[in-house]
Amino acid sequence: MENDAVVGFIGDLQSGTTLPMAQLLSLYGYTHISYGARDPLLSNKRLYPNFFRTVPDDKIQYAAYVKLLERFQWNWVGIITSNDDSGRRELQALVKLFTSHQICIEFTILVSLDNHDYIHPASSTDVIIICGSYSLTYIKFLYHEAHFLKNKTLILPSSWSLATDLILPGDVIPGNCSLVFSIPTYNITGKEMFNVVHLSNQPSDPLLEDIWMTIFHCYTGNKLKDFLMPLADLYPYSNCSEEMKLNIEYNFSGDTTPYQVYIAVYIMAQALHKLKIFIDEKKNNTSNIYDYKRRLSQYIKEENIFLSENEDWITRLDIQNWVTEGKTSEMVVGRFDASFLEDKQLDINPQIITWRQNSIVKIARDVLKMNGQMREETIVL
C-alpha cells in the first residue's frame, strides 16, 4: 500500500458541511463516515455509494413527529426552521407528511439574519415544531419570541438535543417544558485513556487547543486563538493548568456525540484492519489505491452489527422533557423505535411530563393502561 495514502474520512457533525464533503469524496471513491449528518439526501446510494453514518436518517425523525402528534391529537401546529438548504428540505418534507396525516400547519417561519418574521400574537396553535440547522441566529430568534412561546409546547428534533441554551435559568426560558427527541446514550469502553490526554503533552495539537479552550475557557498559547476565542465566548478566560483534565463522564454528560464518533472510529478501524490483513497476505500485491478504497468500503458494509441494510443502524429515539424550575432537568418520558410494529413504535407517559402552565393541550382523550385496565382520561393543564 502506498505510504501515508488516505483511503477514508470521518466527519462531519452537521449535514450542511457533510453534504459537500460527501459530494466531493464520492467522485474519488473515498469511504466516508459521518457521526452527525441526518439529511435524507445522504441515503441515496447511487449518489453516495461509499457514505455511511452512525446517526439515523431524518426520515425516522419525521415519522416520530407524526406518531407524537397523533398520540396527543395535536392536529394544528406551527413550524419554525432555518432558512438554508437543509431547513427548506425539512420544511418541504414535513408539510407533505403532515398533510397526508391530516395535521394542519398554521404558520411556517424560516429563520435567517435577514428574516424578521415573528410569531403572530394571535397564533392559536399550542404546538410548534422546531427543525432545520441549529445556529446562534436561530437561538436568538427563539429568545426574541419567548413571550409568544411561553404558553406553547416546543418539539425539538434529535439534532437539537444539545441546544440546552434554550433552558438556561433566567427570566426568559423559551425551551422550558419542551419535548425533545434524542439519541440514546451508550457506554464507551476504554474511557480511561482520556485521563492521560492533556494539552501540555501535545502543545502544538490544534484540536486539543480547541477542546481545552471550549471546555475550560483557558489560554493555550496560540496567539490568534487566545485573541479571537474570548471575543465569541460568554465566559472569562484564564491560563490553562495541569489540573484541567478531560473527564468524558463530566465534560460530555448527556452528549451522545462522543459515542457516535467512537462508533465511527471503531468501524473505520475494523475495516482498516481487514484491509491490512488483505495486503499482508498478498505479498506480491499489485493492487493500487483505487482498489484499496473499494475494499475499505466493502469491509465497512460487512460491519453489519452497526450498519443496517440502509447503513443507518440507530432506529430508536428517546423523548426528553426539558424543565427549568430552579435547576434544569432533562428527564426521559418516552421513546420511539422505528423497528417495532407501527402501533408499538411510540411509548410515552403523559403523566410524568411537566407541561407549560396555563396551556390547554388538545388531548380529548388519553387512553392509558393502568394496572391491566383501560382508562379514559382527559388531561387539562
CA neighbor of 244 nearest in space, from 192, 198, 210: 198
Q: Which residues contact 224 (CB under 8 A, 6 or more apart)?
A: none
Query: Would strands 327-337 and 316-325 be described as parallel, antiparallel, or unpaired?
Result: antiparallel
Q: Report the CATH number of the 1-55+257-313 domain.
A: 3.40.50.2300
pLDDT of residue 361: 40
CB 25 within 8 A of CB 32: yes
357 band by pLDDT with thresholds 50, 70 and 90: low
d(CA 195, CA 212): 14
pLDDT of residue 88: 92
One-letter amino acid for residue 25 of the chain:
L
Residue 69 reports pLDDT greater than 90:
yes
All cell numbers assigned to 237: 478566560
pLDDT of residue 128: 94
Give the mean model confidence (pLDDT) for residues 171-195: 76
pLDDT of residue 67: 95
Residue 363 reports pLDDT greater than 50:
no
CA neighbor of 152 nearest in space, from 231, 218, 50, 79: 79
pLDDT of residue 316: 84
List the domain boundaries for the chain.
1-55+257-313, 59-184+317-377
Average pLDDT taken over every residue of the chain:
80
d(CA 179, CA 222): 41
Q: Which residues contact 65 (CB under 8 A, 6 or more apart)?
A: 94, 97, 98, 129, 155
In this structure, CATH architecture of domain 59-184+317-377: 3-Layer(aba) Sandwich (3.40)
pLDDT of residue 248: 59
Q: Which of 3-7, 246-250, 350-354 comes out lowest in average pLDDT? A: 246-250
0.85 exceeded by the pTM? no
Instruction: Give SS3 for 118.
Output: coil
Q: Which residues contact 296 (CB under 8 A, 6 or more apart)?
A: 7, 8, 31, 271, 272, 275
Residue 319 reports pLDDT greater than 80:
yes
Q: What is the share, in percent, of the chain residues with pLDDT greater than 90?
A: 24
Give the mean model confidence (pLDDT) for residues 38-67: 89
DSSP string, 211-268: HHHHHH-EE-S-HHHHHHGGGG-SS--EE--TT----HHHHTTT--HHHHHHHHHHHH
Residue 66 reports pLDDT greater than 70:
yes
- Please list the alpha-helical segments (H only) found in the chain: 15-27, 58-71, 85-100, 136-144, 146-149, 206-216, 223-228, 248-251, 257-281, 289-301
pLDDT of residue 375: 38
pLDDT of residue 201: 78
> Which is it for the CA torsion 208, 209, 212, 215, positive or negative?
negative
Q: Which of 2-6, 137-141, 319-323 comes out lowest in average pLDDT? A: 2-6
Residue 288 reports pLDDT greater than 50:
yes
> Which is it for the CA torsion 356, 359, 361, 365, positive or negative?
positive
**Between the CA of residue 304 and those of 80, 95, 261, what are the distances in Å?**
36, 34, 17
Give the mean model confidence (pLDDT) for residues 132-136: 86
